[in-house]
Chain A
């Protein structure tokens, strides 16, 4: 059922029913008893920046390595630009990869590293020189051509690795945790640079990452992976605002989750009975009455007030402040409900507390309420 959904969304994206640029069908890879990639289907259109997001061991790297040609699948096919690639060795594929360790050749300088791939294609020397210089300009490393990888900073190495992979003008660029080796500040800056470069060269990017923030900033579309399967595929907004399962809701950002049963379902408006009372939800998905369901609520979608709200809306509960975590821009409140469940609520710190007593403090009785549109419906 999930698979059909994926296909539908791919078709709707490209607008017409032409064959997608990268097409993966029934792809399976086992290592001994472990199934690393389990019967996966995926379509990616040309020029996309697609992220594969998941924890370690979820199979995202194996999938990427199969695309590159370092691993061969037990079953299924990979086609790139309409040509079946599943059994083609890495050195004959129109893909290039940026490795997590960068894998820069330590015995060659920057220029030689970048030229290596072009030399394999027997490109004339003069053209190689031109293309190396052009790509160095793109990654802003002119003047570093004679340096050895060991003489470069982490950020510079990352850009050499990118240049080396891009200079061959691949149909598909594969990036394995491209920013994982950089420190946090540099990583944020590089995220935007990477997306910029992708836009400039127009090459299709597939990025593997375990960092949800990275995936959200970079990608035009992303897939959340777990145990060798896709949990959900969509744009970053779709994944964050409309997760379909508890796994995805919890993996991307954080979510308060209530278990419940659908009492009524009319035109996308649901009433769900839960431990904490009846909850109203409306986000367009229709679910049959009587079904078991989980409701997810993002901490930032919950309003918190000490005084009872005047217009008593449908979704309202009381609780006691257990803990407050001050994060600077926001604060996280842990609220204990009557049934003992703890709810995370985050609220922006719009005014400075100064020496004044906090507006809301420990052991306060507070009211929580939220819009029916904010409730996420999780079917698994």
Chain B
């Protein structure tokens, strides 16, 4: 009996060994597929799958229950599957002027902020490229640093600057420019400042990368052929940095148009943006089907810029 058990155990160990062995061998042979499958499955489960559910809910009806939406697929008597698709949610969004206006307002704010960021970011990026070998990495570091520090806290910092008793108003009053504080916080102006401040590094970095790759002899060649610096900028530098301009602009526009925190903290209730409406729709009204429909609509709004962005990224990757 004892001996038998021992045998049994050693058998098992042996068996296990061979299983482990076989597993390792399989791993050795198929490691490439495993490397691909793990992140692939993760993304399918936690990125793509949720979108299908949202798309599904956006086509459902509201129900007082948890979760507060009707199931799209129901088993009717006799096992006949009925699919109930309701486009009411989308009709509701389109017919309600609040949503349309909020959409338009988001696009307006995001695109204006993008233009301001470009006008500010372009000379800054160019200035860094033209800096000396010591100043360049330092300046670059200074641009990257805010990009890594908490976004929430950087928006918060502007609350102190823009408030009625804030630094800017106090300074202006002290200097005698104004008598009464100007209301800057909780206004569209504050939202612009917040977006430009937050996303400026996203504009500068792709522009910098683009400009840094430019062959400086192209500028020299233009000068050599009689072109003055301003002309050279518009005829040579600007056209050749267009990929950077486009990448930077999209990197500002896309997140800015969906922004929630900035309009909430700096715009208060006065600035309506789609991200904020979506968030509120979801947390307060618990009208999930409408919120999902808003999300899907918002995605459609962004599909075009996202595709352009991917296209340029792909081009840049091929170029390298």
Which residues of A have CB within 8 Å of B235? 116
Which residues of A have CB within 8 Å of B221? 97, 99, 103-105, 164
**Given A99-B217, A107-B239; A69-B226 close (CB under 8 Å):** no
**Given A103-B218, A120-B231; A96-B236 close (CB under 8 Å):** no
Q: Tell me how far the C-beta of A163 lies from the nearest C-beta in chain B, rounded to whole angstroms.
A: 12
Q: Tell me how far the C-beta of B219 lies from the nearest C-beta in chain A, rounded to whole angstroms.
A: 9
The yes or no answer to B180 lying at the interface (CB within 8 A) is: no
Q: Give Cα A90 to B228, complex, Å.
A: 9
Q: Give Cα A99 to B231, complex, Å.
A: 20
Which A residues have a C-beta under 8 Å from some C-beta of B? 68-70, 89-93, 95-97, 99-101, 103-107, 116-117, 120-121, 164-165, 168
Contacting pair A107 B240 (CB below 8 A): yes
Which residues of A have CB within 8 Å of B226? 91-92, 117, 120-121, 168
What 0/1 pattern do residues 213 to 254 of B give for CB contact below 8 A with A?
Answer: 001011011111111110100011001100000000000000
Closest B residue, CB atoms, query A112: B235
Closest A residue, CB atoms, query B218: A103
Contacting pair A91 B217 (CB below 8 A): no
Question: What are 12 A-B interface contacts by the 8 Å CB criterion?
Answer: A91-B223, A99-B217, A100-B217, A101-B217, A105-B218, A107-B239, A116-B227, A117-B225, A120-B226, A120-B231, A165-B225, A168-B226
Q: Give Cα A101 to B221, complex, Å.
A: 10
Q: Give Cα A90 to B229, complex, Å.
A: 10
**Given A164-B225, A168-B226; A90-B236 close (CB under 8 Å):** no
Which residues of B have CB within 8 Å of A70? 220, 223-224
Which residues of B have CB within 8 Å of A69? 223-224
Closest A residue, CB atoms, query B216: A103
What 0/1 pattern do residues 93 to 109 of B give for CB contact below 8 A with A?
Answer: 00000000000000000
Q: Give Cα A107 to B242, complex, Å.
A: 11
Q: Tell me how far the C-beta of B92 lies from the nearest C-beta in chain A, rounded to whole angstroms.
A: 48
Q: Give Cα A271 to B209, complex, Å.
A: 66
**Given A99-B217, A120-B231; A105-B236 close (CB under 8 Å):** yes
**Residue among B225, B228, B239 with the highest chain A CB neighbour number at 10 A:** B225
Which residues of A have CB within 8 Å of B222? 105, 116
Which residues of B have CB within 8 Å of A106? 240
Which residues of A have CB within 8 Å of B217? 99-101, 103
**Given A91-B228, A120-B231; A103-B223 close (CB under 8 Å):** no
Closest 8 pairs between A and B when the two form their complex, measured CB to CB: A117-B225, A120-B226, A103-B221, A90-B223, A103-B217, A91-B223, A97-B224, A107-B239
Q: Give Cα A57 to B236, complex, Å.
A: 29
Contacting pair B224 A95 (CB below 8 A): yes
Which residues of B have CB within 8 Å of A105? 218, 221-222, 236, 240
Closest A residue, CB atoms, query B229: A91
Contacting pair A90 B220 (CB below 8 A): yes
Q: Tell me how far the C-beta of B230 lies from the nearest C-beta in chain A, rounded to whole angstroms.
A: 11
Q: Give Cα A97 to B226, complex, Å.
A: 11
Q: Tell me how far the C-beta of A68 lies from the nearest C-beta in chain B, rounded to whole angstroms.
A: 6
Q: Besides A70-B220, A107-B239, A116-B235, 19 other CB < 8 A contacts?
A: A68-B224, A69-B223, A70-B223, A89-B223, A90-B224, A91-B223, A91-B224, A92-B226, A95-B224, A100-B217, A101-B215, A103-B217, A103-B220, A107-B240, A117-B225, A117-B226, A164-B221, A164-B225, A168-B226
